[in-house]
Amino acid sequence: MSDRRLPRLLQSPAVILLLIWMLIPLGMTLYFSFIRYVLNSLRRPEWTKPALSNWRGFGNYEFVLENKDFLLAIQNSLFIVCSILFLTVILGVLIAVLINKAFPGRGIVRVLLISPFFVMPAVNAVLWINMILDPVLGLQGLAVAGINDLISSLQNAPVVGWFFSLWPQFEPISFRATQTSAIAVIMMVTWQWTPFAVLIFMTSLQSEDQQQKEAAILDGAGAWSQFRFLTLPHLARPIAIVVMIQAIFHLSLYAEIEIVSRGNGNKNLPYLIGEFANNNIGAASATGIFAVILANIVAIFLLRMIGKTLME
């Protein structure tokens, strides 16, 4: 039995399957992005079938680049992803440091904290946009109504009534609107992914050099400088990994955006592709190629970092 053939044979099903999975659909997307291809066209029925004779060159790319929705979608993708990254990393580091030391009930707090991560995205979005953020019936609406009631009853109170009559009535915010729907998505995804950041930072904190820390304390280092000069540098690598993994996941957010506002005001690239794909396949494919390029920029950095720790 040859030493080389058998391992290859064992790996081949996985490799072949992934190769098919990657190459065929992506190849088709690439092909469609260079031809005129629409699902419905009364005037040009020949465009409704993919064919080389409908070759359009970079026409679809030009069309997409000139479409104002495309720029908005890129902007929005970046706005949503960067906001989530910023919030999850800051919250993640703070919470991980907070629960790194033992305290009564630490195990339970850990379980409470990690739970949001396992909630399926569709439930996450439905729960937040309805039960929590709804301007009338959700907790937000109820809270605002409660505060307004309290203020108006205090306005009739003796002595202090004049003071409260200066207060305005508060307006609840509708998170399905154009300006705010991206904020709702950011909130719900941050809620879901902060636990992930916490979990990774905590795992990493457990391998922090305790002796170094004790030496620092002996040298009179305060809590802040311990954090700044020991903990934070130790967390640099996990932070980079959390940022990149999340970037890859959040660049393809879909369910949350669909559920919150059906893309109203917060279209991202995957959502725009879905919209184009209702008719203009050429444009959807060109947008898809742009999405692949964007994801690859992040992925190259991530793969480099992971590659370093592999095989040690």
Partner 1 sequence: MAIVAQSSKYGRVSRATLAWVVGLLFFFPIFWMVLTSFKTDADAVKPEYLLFFQPTLENYLNMTENYDYWRFARNSVITAVFATIFALAVGIPCAYAMAFNPSRATKDVLMWMLSTKMLPAAAVLYPMTFLTKSMGLFDTHFLIIVVLMLINLPIVIWMLFTYFKEIPKEIIEAGQMDGVNTWGEIREILIPLAWGGIASTALLCFIFCWNEAYWTVRLTTTEAATLSKLIEGNRAPEGLFFGRLSAVSTAAVGPIVVLGWFCQKQLVQGLTFGAVK
| Among residues 78, 82, 99, 154, the one that binds partner 1 under rule CB under 8 A | 99
How far apart are the C-alpha atoms of 108 and 97, rounded to whole Å?
17
* Cβ neighbours of 249 (radius 10 Å): 14
How far apart are the C-alpha atoms of 214 and 204, rounded to whole Å?
18
How far from 283 is each of 28, 63, 64, 148, 271, CA to CA, in Å?
13, 7, 6, 49, 13
CB 62 within 8 A of CB 283: no
**Toward partner 1, which CB reaches closer, 16 or 160?**
16
Residue 294 makes CB contacts below 8 A (sequence gap 6+) with 74, 77, 251, 269
How far apart are the C-alpha atoms of 312 and 307, rounded to whole Å?
10
- Paired tokens of 20: 């098919």
| Among residues 65, 71, 90, 122, the one that binds partner 1 under rule CB under 8 A | 122
Map the footprint of partner 1 across residues 213-232, applying CB under 8 A.
213-214, 217-218
Instruction: Give backbone dihedrals phi and psi of 280, rounded to 5 degrees, phi first.
Output: -90, 90
Q: Does 78 bind partner 1 (CB under 8 A)?
A: no
Map the footprint of partner 1 across residues 140-159, applying CB under 8 A.
142, 145-146
| Among residues 38, 78, 113, 154, the one that binds partner 1 under rule CB under 8 A | 113
Q: Does 173 bind partner 1 (CB under 8 A)?
A: no
- Paired tokens of 111: 């379980």
**Toward partner 1, which CB reaches closer, 183 or 291?**
291
**Toward partner 1, which CB reaches closer, 162 or 237?**
237
**Toward partner 1, which CB reaches closer, 167 or 254?**
254
Q: Does 237 bind partner 1 (CB under 8 A)?
A: yes
Map the footprint of partner 1 across residues 185-214, applying CB under 8 A.
191, 194-196, 199-200, 203-204, 207, 210, 213-214
Q: Does 74 bind partner 1 (CB under 8 A)?
A: no
Min CB(83)–partner 1 separation in Å = 18
- 80, containing H or E segment: helix 68-98
